[in-house]
C-alpha cells in the first residue's frame, strides 16, 4: 500500500495548515479565507479516514468512479465532509458527480451545461460550480481558454445563476505559476466570482500570495501516488 500512517498524515496536515496560515499573514490576508482541499485520488478510504480524524473536512477527487467508490459511505457516515470534483467529467458521469459533490470545480465546456442542469433537477441537489480555465492553452488539459471566458461565463450564468461561484486552474508544469494564478484571479474579479481554486503541493504558498481561496494539496498530505497514476492525472481524458 502507498498509504502513510494516521500519525504521519496528521503531521503533514499540521505542517500544511501552518504554512497556509503563515502564507496568508505574509500576504496580508485572513487565514480563514483560505481552505485546504485534501486531494485523495489514488489513496484509500483508510487514508481519507485518517485525515478526517485530524479534522480535515474537504477532499478532492479527479475521477468520478473512484470518488463514488470511496466517498459514498464516507459521506453518509460523516455528513460534514465536502467533496470537490477536480477532474474532467464525461457526460455519462455527470449524474454521479451531482450526487456526491459539494463543488464541481471543472465546468469546462458548453456541452456539459444542459446535462448538468438536468442532473441537478433530477437529483434535487445542487453542487457549487467553478469554471476551469486553461490559462496555458495546453491542448491536453481541460478548461476554456481565457479569451472564451466572456462567452462561456455568461452562458454558465444563464443556465445556473448564483451556483457559479468560482474559477479553477492548473498552470503548465514548467511555467512560473504566478502569471497564471494572477490571470485566474483577474478573471474571477471581473465576474464577481468569490472563489479561486489554485495551487497544489509545490506552489500553494504562491497561490495564496496571488489570492487563492481554495488550495488543492495531495502529495504533501498523503504521500506519493502510485506510479501508474502520474501519467495524465490532470489531463482531459483521465
Ligand X SMILES: *Cc1c(COP(=O)(O)O)cnc(C)c1O
Binding interface with ligand X (CB under 6 A): 39, 41, 62, 86-87, 170, 200-201, 216-220, 233-234
Distance CA 89, CA 18 (A): 33
Name the nearest CA neighbour of 84 among 114, 51, 62, 111.
62
CB of 123 or CB of 223, closer to ligand X: 223
CB of 158 to ligand X, least distance (A): 26
CB of 167 to ligand X, least distance (A): 13
| Strand ranges in the chain using DSSP code E only, listed in sequence order | 35-39, 58-61, 82-85, 103-107, 128-132, 164-168, 195-197, 214-217
Q: Quote the cell numbers at residue 168.
A: 479553477
CB of 58 or CB of 217, closer to ligand X: 217
Dihedral (C-alpha) 196, 200, 206, 209: value to the nearest 10 degrees? 30
SS (H, E, C) 104-148: EEEECCHHHHHHHHHHHHHHCCCCEEEEEECCCCCCCECCECHHH
| Residue of this chain nearest to ligand X (CB atom) | 218
Rg (CA), the chain: 17
CB of 91 to ligand X, least distance (A): 19
CB of 6 to ligand X, least distance (A): 19
CB of 159 or CB of 234, closer to ligand X: 234
CB of 238 to ligand X, least distance (A): 8
60 and 40 Cβ atoms separated by less than 8 Å? yes
Q: Which helix (H) or strand (E) holds 154?
A: helix 149-160
Q: Quote the cell numbers at residue 31.
A: 487565514
Within 13 Å, how many C-alpha atoms sit on residue 220's CB side? 21
CB of 153 or CB of 170, closer to ligand X: 170
CB of 77 or CB of 176, closer to ligand X: 176
CB of 36 to ligand X, least distance (A): 11
CB of 146 or CB of 177, closer to ligand X: 177
Amino acid at each position: 500500500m502507498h498509504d502513510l500512517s494516521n500519525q504521519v498524515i496528521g503531521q503533514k496536515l499540521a505542517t500544511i495548515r501552518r504554512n497556509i496560515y503563515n502564507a496568508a499573514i505574509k500576504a496580508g490576508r485572513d487565514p480563514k479565507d483560505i481552505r485546504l482541499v485534501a486531494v485523495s485520488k489514488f489513496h484509500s478510504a483508510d487514508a481519507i479516514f485518517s485525515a478526517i480524524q485530524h479534522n480535515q473536512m474537504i477532499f478532492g477527487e479527479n475521477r468520478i468512479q473512484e470518488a463514488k467508490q470511496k466517498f459514498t459511505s464516507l459521506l453518509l457516515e460523516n455528513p460534514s465532509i465536502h467533496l470537490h470534483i477536480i477532474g474532467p467529467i464525461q457526460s455519462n458521469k455527470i449524474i454521479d458527480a451531482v450526487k456526491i459533490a459539494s463543488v464541481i470545480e471543472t465546468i469546462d465546456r458548453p456541452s456539459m451545461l444542459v446535462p448538468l442542469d438536468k442532473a441537478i433537477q433530477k437529483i434535487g441537489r445542487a453542487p457549487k460550480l467553478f469554471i476551469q480555465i486553461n490559462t496555458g492553452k495546453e491542448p491536453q488539459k481541460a478548461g476554456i481558454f481565457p479569451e472564451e471566458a466572456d462567452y462561456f461565463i455568461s452562458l454558465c450564468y444563464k443556465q445556473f445563476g448564483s451556483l457559479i461561484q468560482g474559477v479553477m486552474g492548473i498552470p503548465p508544469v514548467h511555467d512560473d505559476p504566478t502569471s497564471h494564478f494572477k490571470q485566474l484571479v483577474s478573471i474571477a474579479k471581473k465576474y464577481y466570482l468569490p472563489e479561486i481554486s489554485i495551487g497544489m503541493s509545490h506552489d500553494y504558498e504562491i497561490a495564496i500570495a496571488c489570492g487563492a481561496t481554495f488550495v488543492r494539496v495531495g502529495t504533501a498530505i498523503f504521500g506519493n501516488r502510485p506510479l501508474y497514476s502520474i501519467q495524465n492525472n490532470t489531463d482531459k481524458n483521465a
